[in-house]
Amino acid sequence: MTRPKRDKVSGNKDAGHETVVVCGEVRTALLQTSLPLSQDQCARFLALRPDEPVRVSERPNVYAVSPDLLTGVDCRLPAASGSRVRGVGTVRAHAALTGGRVIQASAHFQYTTSVSGQRLPWSHYLVRPGLVERLGRTTADDLTAGFLAPRATEPGLLDPGSIASRLLDRARGHELLDGQPPLKSRRTRLRWAVRQVPPGAEPSVHFTIVDTERRTLLLLLPGLMDAKAVASVPPFCEELALHDWLLTTLIRVVERRALGSLSGPEVANRLGPAVSHLLHLWLPGARSGRELPELWNGVEQQPGFTRQWQTLVQRIRDQLALQSLPLHDSAPESSRAPTSAPRR
Amino acid sequence: MESVFREETADPRTESVPLSHLSLELGHLYMEDFAAGRTRLRSHFDEVRPWAEAARAAAVRTHGPRARVSTCFLVDDYFTRHSSPSLVLPMLCEEAEAAEVRIDYLARESGCARAGNREPARAVEGRLVESPPPGSDGSRPPASEVGWLSNGQRSPGHHADSAEAMAGTPPAWAPASETGAREHSVFLDVELWSEQKGERLWSCPFLAGVWQLLRLGMLRHDGAAVLRPEEFGGTFPAEWAALPALLRLNRRAQPFAAYRTFSVLPTRFLPVEHAVRVLLGQVHIEAPVREQVERRAKGEGVVLPPELPDRAHYAFALEP
């Protein structure tokens, strides 16, 4: 008779095969200021901790991310089955700016099984940043489904969204912002969960638009998920949230009022800011495409992000091209079409 | 499965600081003590001496005759500024030496708030990760916004972060509770700072916590050591602001930072140091720093308590 092999670290007989589950939420919004922040301003804006630098990359566009902040949690976990499972640990959060124009606040954590079955001294959790230990029995499926369910945002349940939201609120009052955004937009929130599936399965992406603001994303990733693989997931989700927000915002710009019913200058006023502030930010997979190319391929097939984006951009270009035709009755001096507007 | 977010561990930029076995603090004085003159200082160090000797003897018992012990003294120039360093400090050092408790390192309390272009207190504030009382779902504002840090669950209705209080309905009273208490609570709520005319004034317990973290070698600024002792040139400046944040008075002193600290203090500092313990237990030390210290302790056979507050020791023994 062989005894089940116990994992030394976790003491749980299943722990060697513990299914990796990572959950998080990303909130995305237009930075409420008239001009995009420069690279230096981005670094100042995101300096949430004086002793840790803001990481800035210049290419393919200016992208800056704040140092991580940790928040301690001890509460019920959203489980689809409704079973009472407690989680204790820390949630990681940071804020990021893309192109000095779009702000994102992201909070996430990874589940792990509690070895002791009880809450331990706080130092135990402080040395495991970003891990939430669950006390109580449940399955990986139950946790991911519960996290993505609408009722998961009830008070008292672990909510990384409130942490992300607070980061956005904190950023809103910054002295670098003049409160005069060039276009109207809405915040979006993407709640995401990643679950490891057995090796051999295809990775899959389930992206759902719940309403005008909320989206959910379930990623099923096969095979080994080591630290590196786990660390590559939040950047993918943030990048996906950014592109979903760009698409959502552009759709709003184009469809808010039928473009055909507007005068020439009105069309230019409406489309100009979107052209100069948003179009160049579309670079799906620029930051996470190398680690997770198959996920980006999945997103491009269904819902076909780039296809939709290109269709919208084409419409905008057509409209602006119409403005530049000499037959049109718009007065050139009143046109505020930006210089970067593409012409044919 | 162990922690999976390990990227910071691989970071090679973290500077290591030299470490003694013990950092021994030789009391703490207010500016009025300095104002009281030489006799007061002498009696202070006379009082400190037996406790300092006991701490040194305990270190020798644990680490052998080659135990590395450094002594330090923190001058309070943050809350009140008395006279001038060039008048006060020679007197302080002479009286300590006369009482046979030599001061190896002299630090000024303002240095815990700002040392050159570094702001250790701000950095520590950014590293506070509060121990969440049961029921914390992430919606509670952090200590850095509220300005208070506790060791448990506040009684409802007494603080700005109470949702019920903001909604306008007076909440039902409930007792505060200490997280992880043994049967009964000793609840403590610590004010970290206040604002005066837009200027932040750090509280004494908070700066005392920063001081302990500096002595324990736990603070870095972008990977670099926060405080580097400057050699004493033989004369003290006329202005407090011109005094280095950390001055090495004794060239042959053992390193300033240490695996453990021992502070000889008047009993009235007990509540402050209780607050320090609460603070130390909720500071997130970056993994490379923590692991550096642990690795070196292990390398020389030193046993380190895993909990940071347990590395700070005290004798509350002096007259007020």
Tell me the pLDDT tens digit for each residue of B3-49: 222 233 334 578 999 999 999 999 998 888 888 999 999 999 999 99
Asked whether residue A196 falls in the same domain as residue A314, the answer is no
Residue A324 lies in a domain: yes
Band (pLDDT 50/70/90 cuts) for residue A6 is very low
Is the link from the previous residue into A60 a cis peptide, with omega within 30 of 0?
A: yes
Per-residue pLDDT, A12: 40
Asked whether residue A162 falls in the same domain as residue A289, the answer is no
Mutate to test the interface with B, among A46, A123, A153, A154 (most CBs of B within 10 A): A123
Asked whether residue A302 falls in the same domain as residue A184, the answer is no
More confident residue, B312 or A264: B312
Range of the domain at A160: 15-231
Asked whether residue A218 falls in the same domain as residue A123, the answer is yes
Q: Do A10 and B1 touch (CB under 8 A)?
A: yes
Per-residue pLDDT, A16: 52
B301 and chain A: CB distance < 8 Å anywhere?
Answer: no
Judged against a pLDDT cut of 50, whether residue A148 lies above it is answered with: yes
Judged against a pLDDT cut of 70, whether residue A257 lies above it is answered with: no
Interface of A with B in 25-54 (CB under 8 A): 48-53
Comparing A54-63, A93-102, A254-263, A287-296, the range with the smallest average pLDDT is A254-263
Asked whether residue A302 falls in the same domain as residue A220, the answer is no
What's the whole-model pTM score?
0.87
Asked whether residue A120 falls in the same domain as residue A91, the answer is yes
Asked whether residue A83 falls in the same domain as residue A212, the answer is yes
Residue A44 lies in a domain: yes
Per-residue pLDDT, A340: 43
Judged against a pLDDT cut of 80, whether residue A25 lies above it is answered with: yes
Residue A326 lies in a domain: yes
What single-letter amino acid sits at B197?
A: K
Q: Do B281 and A122 touch (CB under 8 A)?
A: yes
Residue A7 lies in a domain: no
Asked whether residue A193 falls in the same domain as residue A254, the answer is no
User: Considering chain A, what is the average pLDDT of its residues?
Assistant: 86
Domain end call among A231, A260, A275: A231
Asked whether residue A124 falls in the same domain as residue A89, the answer is yes
Domain end call among A171, A202, A231: A231
Read off the tokens for A143: 């946790």
Band (pLDDT 50/70/90 cuts) for residue A296 is confident
Asked whether residue A224 falls in the same domain as residue A261, the answer is no
Distance from the Cα of B84 to chain A's closest Cα (Å) equals 31
The four Cα atoms A244, A246, A248, A249 give a dihedral, to 10 degrees, of 160
- What is the SS3 assignment for A13? coil
Distance from the Cα of A17 to chain B's closest Cα (Å) equals 9
Distance from the Cα of A340 to chain B's closest Cα (Å) equals 39
Instruction: Say how far apart CA A171 and CA B16 lie, in whole Å.
Output: 34
Q: What's the structural domain count of chain A?
A: 2
Per-residue pLDDT, A157: 94
Domain end call among A166, A196, A231: A231
Question: Which residues of chain A neighbour B219 with C-beta distances below 8 Å?
Answer: 51
B128 and chain A: CB distance < 8 Å anywhere?
Answer: no
Question: Which residues of chain B neighbour A74 with C-beta distances below 8 Å?
Answer: 132-136
Pick from A92, A121, A126: which is nearest to B180 by CB? A121
Question: Which residues of chain B neighbour A47 with C-beta distances below 8 Å?
Answer: none
Residue A322 lies in a domain: yes
Residue A200 lies in a domain: yes
Asked whether residue A37 falls in the same domain as residue A94, the answer is yes
Per-residue pLDDT, B169: 65
- Sort strands A102-113 and A21-30 into parallel, antiparallel or unpaired: antiparallel
Distance from the Cα of A283 to chain B's closest Cα (Å) equals 25
Whole-complex ipTM: 0.86
What single-letter amino acid sits at A22?
A: V
Asked whether residue A265 falls in the same domain as residue A310, the answer is yes
Judged against a pLDDT cut of 60, whether residue A3 lies above it is answered with: no
Low-confidence residues of chain B, pLDDT below 50?
Answer: 1-11, 159-165
Question: Which residues of chain A neighbour B221 with C-beta distances below 8 Å?
Answer: 50-51
Band (pLDDT 50/70/90 cuts) for residue A17 is low
Q: Write out the DSSP string of A27-91.
A: EEEE-SSSSPPPHHHHHHHT--STTSPPEEE-SSS-EEEPPPEEEEEEEE---TT----EEEEEE
